[in-house]
């Protein structure tokens, strides 16, 4: 386990907790008649105080009412600043500490370390549903006895495990058409301006037109206020560029997310990327309250439900369902390594059909990751688009290497750019390095495309794409729409954790 070793005392305490949990699993169901006689509300009122005192002291319990401790190594996921219930974010630091609170170990890294000493290791494959906030503050013992903690809103069955995902719905996405045709896909990033600056958006359109299949519109990038991503995506669509609408769980609850998705579908935007989002502590409004009503895995699941014609609450979508081609993100650079493949598999099971990675500068490390992806067959379930980004200056390279969690920038890159003092020379070398890395990434088995992230430097995208021989981009006709309804995640076959 990277960056996390348990002491003997920790292991002894963990095994004591496991035995206590096993005892509770044996005893609690026998209390069902008593709870039924008292009523769930009264029983919860009596039991929640001793439960909360014990769990708070032992696990820093956040009283969500849907306890998943034994599913993730006797670790409470709600203590994660992003409240992620299905694996770690991509910002885990190289030392195994939290992106948001560097002094703390990552909650999920701790969970993986602990799970190795419990009989519940296989439960890490479980897709934990989003929190039902109506249960917050109630006794999870009572919700367990009554089965309320297993009730999932929507038409799907209770949480399933990682396995082979069902057949995808066919969308109208140009990215899907490119991938189905066997072409090497290119996506590039468009960051909306900080102010209501339509000229900046037009500049991106003029510079990038024709150099990508789709154009990723970031959602309050870096947890800082930017122009509306949905409006930016609409402007790109009207200009003839096919947008990918990024949606983060940081700023919206499931109501607002579904509203934006309906708006996107109504405007012909049918490629989306589901993200957890950078925490607000790293942005320009650290005093704001983060939402994180869902994690990225459950956001993917919710979008897929909408594709199948229902909202997250299970009610049908009037008239017609949207046709989204669903994407998600993964960071091969961040520990723990075993969690990366598992989280990727969870997103595929939930409904993701393409994956865009974090920026890749350590190619050998990424190559090892892709070997494991291919061995697990995940490259056949999701199309992997490797992240590549030219570096504009030595200052930018040093900042990414030292200040951006989840990035792995080798020393040779900093040394090579640092040989030059003039900014224009540093930019030239940074672009050359970006092209070289992109050429290497293209040759790795399982890589189906590139996601070019030239932050605040759109002018670097055309020469990079041209140098790779990927210009001009192909134009493909829309694929036929097929309606596949009533798909369920509950019927997938279990995938042994050791294969991941």
pLDDT digits (tens, 9 = 90+) for 68-81: 888 899 999 999 99
**CATH placement of domain 174-478:** 3.20.20.220
Report the alpha-carbon distance of residue 225 to residue 197 in Å, rounded: 13
pLDDT at 153: 53
What does the pLDDT average to over 6-27?
90
Tokens 């992620």 label which residue?
Answer: 84
- pLDDT band for position 165 (50/70/90)? low
pLDDT at 481: 36
C-alpha pair distances (Å), 57 with each of 47, 50, 106, 115, 442: 16, 11, 19, 20, 50
Reading the block at residue 412, the tokens are: 């040779």
- pLDDT band for position 482 (50/70/90)? very low
Residue burial 469-485, b: 16+ Cβ < 10 Å; e: rest: ebeebeeeeeeeeeeee
Instruction: Give residue-wise pLDDT tens across range 70-114.
Output: 889 999 999 999 999 999 999 999 999 999 999 999 999 999 999
Percent of the chain with pLDDT over 70: 90
Tokens 């495990």 label which residue?
Answer: 161
Centre a 10 Å sphere on the Cβ of residue 286 and count the other Cβ atoms it contains. 11
When comparing pLDDT for 478 and 317, which is higher?
317
- pLDDT band for position 2 (50/70/90)? very low
pLDDT at 157: 43
Decide if pLDDT at 308 tops 60.
Answer: yes
pLDDT at 78: 94
Decide if pLDDT at 483 tops 70.
Answer: no
Contacts of 22 (CB under 8 A, 6+ apart): none
Residues of the chain with CATH 3.20.20.220: 174-478
Contact present, 246 and 217 (Cβ < 8 Å): yes
**DSSP summary character for residue 481:** P
320 burial type by CB count under 10 A (0-12 exposed, 13-18 middle, 19+ buried): exposed
Report the alpha-carbon distance of residue 198 to residue 419 in Å, rounded: 38
pLDDT at 166: 58
Smallest CA-to-CA distance from 474 within 188, 213, 271 is with 213
Smallest CA-to-CA distance from 249 within 416, 80, 400, 136 is with 80
When comparing pLDDT for 413 and 52, which is higher?
413
354, β-bridge pairs = 327, 383
Instruction: Give residue-wise pLDDT tens across range 231-252.
Output: 999 999 999 999 999 999 999 9
Decide if pLDDT at 156 tops 70.
Answer: no
Percent of the chain with pLDDT over 90: 67
Report the alpha-carbon distance of residue 409 to residue 116 in Å, rounded: 31
pLDDT at 495: 38
Smallest CA-to-CA distance from 106 within 337, 378, 368, 408 is with 337
Instruction: Give residue-wise pLDDT tens across range 250-288.
Output: 999 999 999 999 999 999 999 999 999 999 998 999 999
Decide if pLDDT at 159 tops 90.
Answer: no
Smallest CA-to-CA distance from 394 within 364, 416, 370 is with 416
Cis peptide before 441 (omega within 30 of 0): no
Contacts of 371 (CB under 8 A, 6+ apart): 445
Decide if pLDDT at 492 tops 60.
Answer: no
Report the alpha-carbon distance of residue 57 to residue 147 in Å, rounded: 25
Contact present, 331 and 405 (Cβ < 8 Å): no
Return the minimum-mean-pLDDT range out of 164-173, 374-383, 388-397: 164-173
pLDDT at 3: 47
Report the alpha-carbon distance of residue 229 to residue 321 in Å, rounded: 22
Report the alpha-carbon distance of residue 371 to residue 365 in Å, rounded: 10
Contacts of 412 (CB under 8 A, 6+ apart): none
Instruction: Work out the angle between the directed axes of helices 337-350 and 107-115 (0-180°, nearest 10).
Output: 100
- The phi and psi torsions of 182 (rounded to 5 degrees) equal 85, 10
- The phi and psi torsions of 314 (rounded to 5 degrees) equal 95, -5
């Amino acid at each position: 386990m990277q960056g996390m070793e348990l002491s003997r005392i920790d292991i002894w305490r963990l095994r004591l907790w496991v035995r206590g949990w096993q005892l509770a699993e044996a005893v609690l169901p026998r209390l069902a008649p008593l709870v039924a006689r008292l009523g769930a509300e009264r029983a919860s009122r009596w039991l929640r105080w001793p439960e909360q005192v014990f769990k708070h002291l032992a696990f820093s319990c956040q009283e969500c009412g849907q306890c998943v401790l034994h599913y993730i190594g006797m670790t409470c996921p709600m203590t994660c600043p992003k409240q992620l219930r299905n694996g770690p974010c991509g910002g885990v630091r190289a030392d195994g500490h939290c992106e948001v609170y560097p002094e703390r170990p990552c909650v999920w890294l701790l969970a993986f370390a602990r799970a190795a000493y419990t009989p519940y290791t296989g439960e890490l494959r479980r897709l934990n549903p989003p929190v039902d906030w109506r249960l917050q503050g109630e006794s999870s013992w009572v919700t367990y006895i009554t089965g309320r903690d297993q009730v999932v809103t929507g038409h799907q069955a209770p949480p399933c495990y990682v396995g082979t995902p069902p057949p995808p719905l066919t969308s109208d996405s140009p990215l899907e058409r490119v991938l189905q045709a066997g072409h090497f896909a290119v996506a590039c990033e468009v960051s909306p301006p900080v102010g209501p600056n339509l000229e900046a958006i037009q500049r991106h359109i003029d510079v990038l037109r024709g150099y990508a299949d789709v154009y990723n519109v970031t959602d309050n990038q870096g947890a800082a206020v930017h122009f509306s991503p949905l409006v930016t995506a609409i402007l790109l669509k009207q200009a003839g560029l096919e947008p990918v609408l990024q949606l983060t769980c940081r700023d919206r609850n499931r109501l607002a997310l579904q509203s934006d998705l309906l708006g996107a579908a109504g405007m012909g935007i049918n490629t989306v990327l589901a993200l957890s989002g950078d925490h607000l502590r790293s942005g320009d409004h650290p005093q704001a309250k983060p939402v994180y009503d869902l994690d990225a895995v459950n956001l993917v699941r919710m979008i897929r439900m909408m594709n199948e014609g229902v909202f997250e609450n299970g009610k049908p979508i009037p008239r017609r369902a949207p046709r989204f081609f669903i994407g998600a993100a993964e960071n091969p650079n961040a520990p723990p390594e075993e969690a990366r493949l598992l989280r990727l598999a969870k997103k595929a099971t939930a409904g993701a059909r393409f994956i865009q990675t974090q920026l890749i500068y350590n190619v050998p490390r990424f190559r090892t990751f892709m070997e494991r992806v291919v061995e697990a067959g995940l490259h056949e379930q999701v199309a992997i688009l490797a992240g590549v980004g030219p570096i504009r200056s030595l200052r930018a390279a040093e900042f990414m290497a030292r200040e951006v969690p989840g990035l792995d920038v080798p020393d040779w890159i900093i040394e090579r750019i640092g040989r030059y003092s003039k900014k224009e020379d540093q930019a030239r070398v940074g672009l050359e390095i970006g092209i070289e890395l992109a050429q290497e990434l293209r040759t790795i088995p399982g890589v189906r495309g590139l996601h070019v992230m030239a932050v605040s430097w759109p002018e670097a995208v055309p020469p990079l794409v041209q140098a790779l021989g990927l210009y001009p981009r192909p134009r493909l006709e829309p694929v036929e729409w097929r309606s596949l309804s009533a798909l369920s995640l509950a019927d997938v076959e279990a995938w042994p954790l050791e294969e991941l």
